[in-house]
Structure formats: C-alpha cells, structure tokens
Amino acid sequence: MAHVNDAPRGPADIPIRAVTRGAKLAALPLGMAGRATLGLGKRIGGKPAEMVTAEIQARTAEQIFKTLGELKGGAMKFGQALSVFEAALPEAVVAPYRAALVKLQEAAPPLPARVVTEVMQKNLGPAWRELFTEFDTKAVAAASIGQVHRAMWSDGRDVAVKIQYPGAGEALLGDLNQISRLARLFGSLVPGLDIKALMVELKARVAEELDYALEADSQRAFAAAFAGDPDFCVPQVVHQSGNVIVTEWIDGTPLSKVITDGDQETRNRAGVLYHRFHMSSPTRVGKLHADPHPGNFRMLADGRLGVLDFGAVNHLPEGIPPAIGVLLGQALRGEAQAVVDGLRAEGFLKPSINLDADKALAYLLPFLEPITAVDFQFSRAWLRAQGQRIGDPRSPNYSTGLQFNLPPRYLLLHRVWLGSIGVLCQLEAAGPWRQELADWLPGAKSLLNLPFEPPTP
C-alpha cells in the first residue's frame, strides 16, 4: 500500500465495466503492431535499427504501464509485479518512464468519499463511525484491490483502515484472464521471466487476497512473531469485518523513496533488512510474505523496517525447503552432476529432460555471484547483464534455460526470490548476503565453510 495523489478522482475515472477494461487491454497489442509497422518505415528511411527498436520498446512500455495503472484490479496488480523487475530492462528503454513505474507501484486513483462511506456502512454497520473518533474519507494509500484511510480508533490509537474496492473480485479475475492471453506481449519487456507461470500463481492466489479475514489472520501471526524485534515492525490488527481491516498506523519512508532519494548507508540498511525479513519469516512464522514490491515496506525513523499488506502469503509450516541451501553449496563447490540430480529430485528438471551437467552449472553460477564475496553490491547493471545472458536467443544459456521446470510448490518462492533481487538492484544495496543466507536458509550453514571467490563452471 502506498500514498496516492492528492487530487481525488471520481467513478468516471475508474473503469469498472468489463467491456471498457477489456477494450483497453485488447488495444495494447494493436498499438504495439502499429508502432512496429511505423518502425519498419523508419528503418527503410535510413534510421538505425537499434534506435528504432529502442523507440518502439519505450513507447510500448509506456503505454502498457499507463493502461495498467488506470485499470486497477488484476491489471494494476500485474503492473506492480512487472515494475519490480524494472531494473532488468535496458537503461535506454527504462529512462523515459522509470518515474511512471515508481508511481504505479505507489499510487492508484482513490474512491470518492460517498463510495467509501457506503463500503464502511456495509461492512461495519450503520453505526460504524462510533468505532472511530476520527476518520478521513480521503484515501492516503492505494493498491490493486483496496485503499487505505487514516483514522483514530475509539481508544485513541492512530490506525490504518484498509477497504476493498467494490467489485474488486470480479475485476481482478477478469483482468488476469485477459492478461494471460497477452503473455507474449508482456514477456517481451522482461527477458527471462516466465510470465505465464507468474499469471498462474497470481490467479491461484486471488481468492486468498480477496479474503480479508484470512489476511488479518496472517498479519496477526507475523505481528506476534516479530513483536519487540529490533529490526522489524509489523502493525497489530485492531479490527476486521468483511472487506475492511483496521490495523495500527506506522509512519515511515516508502522503500520506493529510499530507492530514489536514500543515501548509500540507508539503502544498504534497507536492503539487508528487506532480504532478512523474507529469509527469516518462514522459520519464525511458517509463512512467507509473498508480495515483494516496494510499496509494502517502510523504513521507520528508528531504523526498523515496517512491513505492510499480508494479503499474499505463502504458507510454509516447515520453512523454506532445505534442498535450496544444499543445492547452493553443491553449486559453489562445482559439483555439477550433484546439482543436476538435486534439481531433478526437486522437480526443476522433468524426467524426460537430459541436461548436460556442466551446461547447467554454467547457466546457474553467475546468479550466485552475490554470495561469492564477503560483501556484494547489487546494481541495475548486474541484473540487466543477467537478463541479457539468459534472454538472448543467440546465447547457449538461452536454450539451457528453456529446459528448466518450475515446480508448483516453488512458484511463490520463485516470485519472491526474483522480486527481491529486483528490489535489491533498484536499491543498489551492498551487504553480506552469504552470511544472511547461512543465518536463515535451512541447509545453508555449510556455505560459510567455502572460500569467497568467483565460481567457475
């Protein structure tokens, strides 16, 4: 959840009807085709192919994110997921609309006061205002399926009141179904990312994210596990009824602002805590916060990381599978065949796939660079290089990557892992990442016994 623009927008600005929403999404590939035709004409006219391609990509991406931001629902949620991977896009393409991506992560048009009042009355009853001593009908934060209002609870506590948009469920399902049919278009913007798998995961979690009672239970579990923690702050749930959740209010600097304005020390601190929260919560809570975009995180004045929005949660009662830590150690020791055997046992390689062990290790090792030094600094350049390395069809890594499978039980872990790396690269955070993994990742203690040096296939 994040701050919205100051000027409220009325219902006419929020397309809800399926025909309107479908038309906007359907227009995206048509616009891309038109720009490609125009680009062909420019190349015939003598304009360099690289310039034309970059121009087409920039305009296409700008249109995609603008449309997604206007539609809310599943389109907005998918846009948020894509914006996490902004760091992987070429700088020439990203530069014109990076600000728009941050805005998409942090803002959506709020509902008018009349609709807010109707939602509150429907979910909390006619006397809902008696629960509060103050309630601001103007939203202070918004996301894909709901928005947040600041208020004061009857006992004097500052609270955040999260309400679900009317019709959010139907819009979310409709958008995700429509976007699934446009997977190739979106995939062209994020080389190497399995957009279809992401869509399957998002659709599978729709029911849970729409269930605010389930979200409240998850937040209570996280708040209890991290109560009094010196590094993290999870607001307590004050009240939940229907499509409304009331939680304690926390002030802080959104992670997106740390990305754009923070000094290096602050970005390092934010990055380490952000990573540590995701690594430690399966062990401490038995759950994984599965929505890694920066709008859900705040740096508090006392140096703690505040965590919001527990609608998307992966239930891991036994923690992160220990096979991950074991596989990391085998890869860093250069045990290629053991890595392939382990990947096959976990379902990352289907029985029918015969993958050369050395090629598999050569594909995987560069991803492990952050844990081959005592301290490593993530960067957009590093992530772009990884994307180009595996996303170029001319590279042998491209065909190798196509042979890997993504087991269903690893789907959310994969999303959080990739999304977190994207955020760390946006932060350009430096830290002792191997030590962090060894502290919290099951099976990773042995990593500390290995020398710190660049791996070789």
Q: Are residues 358 and 384 in the same domain?
A: yes
In a domain, 433, yes or no: yes
Q: Are residues 15 and 37 in the same domain?
A: yes
Q: Are residues 68 and 164 in the same domain?
A: no
The whole-angstrom separation of Cα 74 and Cα 144 is 7
Alpha carbon 436 to its chain centroid, in Å, reads 21
Q: Are residues 68 and 122 in the same domain?
A: no
When pLDDT is cut at 50, 70 and 90, the band that residue 59 belongs to is: low
Residue 51: helix, strand or coil by DSSP?
Answer: helix
Work out how many domains the chain is built from and give that number. 3
Tokens of 88: 């992987």
In a domain, 310, yes or no: no
pLDDT for 258: 97
When pLDDT is cut at 50, 70 and 90, the band that residue 271 belongs to is: very high
Residues in the chain: 457
pLDDT for 413: 87
Q: Are residues 80 and 40 in the same domain?
A: yes
CB 78 within 8 A of CB 416: no
In a domain, 140, yes or no: yes
Domain of 334, in residue numbers? 323-449
In a domain, 39, yes or no: yes
Tell me the pLDDT of the chain averaged across its residues.
78
* Reported pTM: 0.76
Q: Are residues 121 and 231 in the same domain?
A: yes
Q: Is the dihedral of CA 21, 291, 80, 398 positive or negative?
A: negative
Q: Are residues 182 and 72 in the same domain?
A: yes
- HSE-CB at 126 with a 13 A cutoff on CA atoms is 0
The whole-angstrom separation of Cα 389 and Cα 392 is 6
Tokens of 19: 């025909």
Secondary structure (DSSP) of 201-250: HHHHTHHHHH-HHHHHHHHHHHHHHTTT-SSEE-PPEEEEETTEEEEE--
Q: Which pairing describes strands 237-241 and 132-135: parallel, antiparallel, or unpaired?
A: unpaired
Please give the residue that has the higher pLDDT: either 177 or 383.
383
Q: Are residues 54 and 175 in the same domain?
A: yes
150-170 residue pLDDT tens: 999 999 999 999 999 887 777
377-418 residue pLDDT tens: 999 999 989 888 887 777 788 778 878 887 777 878 887 898
Is pLDDT at 346 greater than 50 in this prediction? Answer: yes
In a domain, 284, yes or no: no
- Which letter does DSSP use for residue 298 in this model? E
Please report, as a single letter, which amino acid is at residue 35.
Answer: R
Say if residue 202 is exposed, middle or buried (CB neighbours under 10 Å; 0-12, 13-18, 19+): buried
Alpha helices, DSSP H, located in 226-321: 255-261, 264-284
Angle at 327 between CA 325 and CA 329, to 5 degrees: 70
The whole-angstrom separation of Cα 396 and Cα 365 is 14
Is pLDDT at 123 greater than 70 in this prediction? Answer: yes
Q: Are residues 12 and 137 in the same domain?
A: no
Please give the residue that has the higher pLDDT: either 2 or 454.
454
Angle at 198 between CA 21 and CA 97, to 5 degrees: 60
In a domain, 277, yes or no: no
The whole-angstrom separation of Cα 423 and Cα 380 is 10
The whole-angstrom separation of Cα 45 and Cα 32 is 20
Tokens of 143: 């996301």
Tokens of 374: 């005592």
Q: Are residues 61 and 137 in the same domain?
A: no
Q: Are residues 13 and 144 in the same domain?
A: no
The whole-angstrom separation of Cα 156 and Cα 130 is 13
Which of the residue ranges 144-148, 149-153, 244-248, 436-440 would you say has the lowest mean pLDDT? Answer: 144-148
- HSE-CB at 60 with a 13 A cutoff on CA atoms is 26
Q: Are residues 218 and 179 in the same domain?
A: no
In a domain, 276, yes or no: no
pLDDT for 3: 44
- Supply the CATH number for residue 233's domain: 3.30.200.20
When pLDDT is cut at 50, 70 and 90, the band that residue 198 belongs to is: low
In a domain, 412, yes or no: yes
Residue 95: helix, strand or coil by DSSP?
Answer: helix
